[in-house]
Homo-oligomer: A and B are copies of this chain.
Amino acid sequence: MKCDRLWTNARIATCSPSLAGLGVVEDGVVATSAGRIVWCGPRMAFDHAVTADETIDCGGRWITPGLIDCHTHLIFAGDRSDEFARRLTGETYADIARGGGGIVASMRATRAARPADLHDMAERRLRAWRAEGVTTVEIKSGYGLDAVTECSILATARALGAHGAMRVMSTYLGAHAVPPDQGRASYLDLVCDHMIPRIAQENLADAVDGFCETIAFTATEIDRVLTAARAQHLPVKLHADQLSDSGGAALAARFTALSADHLEYAADAGLEAMAAVGTVAVVLPGAYYVLRESKAPPIASMRRAGCTIAIATDCNPGTSPIMSLRLAAHMACVFFGLTFDEAWRGITLNAAAALGIAAETGSIEIGKSCDLAIWDAENLAEILAWIGPAPLHQRVLKGRDV
């Protein structure tokens, strides 16, 4: 066998589901060819007849799968830091949203921005993810809420992915809020009858998402959105049960959604339905923290139901101004009681599952894309336990240093 690159002398947390724990391989080797993993395992088992164009001695460093942030809203313009200050004086997210702040404030600024500026701002933000070993980021639209701006945001997400330094998954979240310049019914018509078919035809998104909540859309309205998505063969996701039990978890399961996200108020039956169809439960501790919520997502029920649990930043300019997936994982441990192993899986393989790409990335296994994070750390716990700059040595996407 001949391969392009070979990483040796590494401790590898493969996150392979067929191995116990995080599937750690001591004194391990990873080989890549044409961007894919062609071998991974202990050095002792490696066929030394294999030749490589390049061999990299990792000096005992840890290798994990490249991290995956499966829920962000990181393309936007404008600044909503004032909302943070207002919440410190007692205003709630719902108060602010009803008063024209929140999503609508970002919508106004995003519509007013030039596409090139939207791109550059997002590109600058993405540096924070790169510095933490993230190789895949999902980005949602939803701050345009008209045809032109939503398509522009999705095209920007596609362009950010085309640079080659980050795999970007694009999600259409037209059903984020009703724009104040349009009636509720006519906006839903636009989303379902015009936008979703167009987005499918132009391949602008990998999935369709909706915000099912008292301050956003009802379960009936979201049902229509998800039905329209399914008609176009687009996978669906859902913002579900964040501020109240809106039946979002069950709705997500009924549509075999890739994921249902937030879930603070999700009912046990909904979680069981999700587990039964493989809908991933994505917890978003950043919003929980910033909004000073007191009700954590029902992790015990999720475990009991057998849900796959992922963690994401939910990066957005209002309720989760957080550009650190490691901090999101840390907070999921501290606030929600996830274990370190759950946190690692939640930002690797399970996050890939939440994006429908678990066969492509998220673990270090033969046949998958060679997406790696190589760490200057003595142990895995240290990488997540410390808050601050990530001890990242190198990021690898599709076999290439990026």
Residue numbers of A with Cβ under 8 A of B are 79, 81-82, 84-85, 88-89, 127-128, 131, 286, 289-290, 292, 321-324, 327, 333-334, 337-340, 378-379, 381-382, 384-389
Contact = CB atoms under 8 A, between A and B. Distances in A.
A323 B85 contact: no
A385 B334 contact: no
B81 A379 contact: yes
A92 to B, nearest CB: 14
A88 B289 CA distance: 18
Contacts of A327: 327, 387
Closest 5 CB pairs of A and B: A323-B388, A81-B381, A81-B385, A84-B385, A81-B382
Given A128-B389, A131-B389, A323-B388, 9 more contacts: A81-B379, A81-B385, A85-B340, A88-B339, A89-B339, A289-B334, A292-B334, A321-B387, A324-B388
Contacts of A323: 386-389
Contacts of A131: 389
Contacts of A334: 88, 289-290, 292
Nearest to A321: B386
A131 B322 CA distance: 17
A43 to B, nearest CB: 25
Contact of A382 (B79, B292, B339): B79
A286 B327 CA distance: 13
A88 B292 CA distance: 21
Contacts of A379: 79, 81-82
A163 to B, nearest CB: 19
A223 B321 CA distance: 44
15 contacts: A79-B378, A81-B382, A81-B386, A82-B381, A84-B340, A85-B381, A85-B385, A89-B339, A131-B389, A322-B386, A322-B387, A323-B388, A323-B389, A324-B387, A324-B388
B292 A385 contact: no
A384 B292 CA distance: 17
B88 A337 contact: yes
A286 B385 CA distance: 12
Contacts of A338: 88
A286 B334 CA distance: 12
A247 B208 CA distance: 58
Contacts of A79: 378-379, 381-382
Nearest to A387: B322
A135 to B, nearest CB: 18
Nearest to A386: B321
A127 to B, nearest CB: 7
Nearest to A342: B88
Contacts of A290: 334
Contacts of A386: 81, 321-323
Nearest to A84: B385
A324 B322 CA distance: 13
A381 B83 CA distance: 10
A215 to B, nearest CB: 21
A385 B321 contact: yes
A386 B81 CA distance: 8
Contacts of A333: 84, 88
Contacts of A128: 388-389
Which of A379, A382, A386, A388: most chain B Cβ within 10 A?
Answer: A388
A289 B334 CA distance: 8
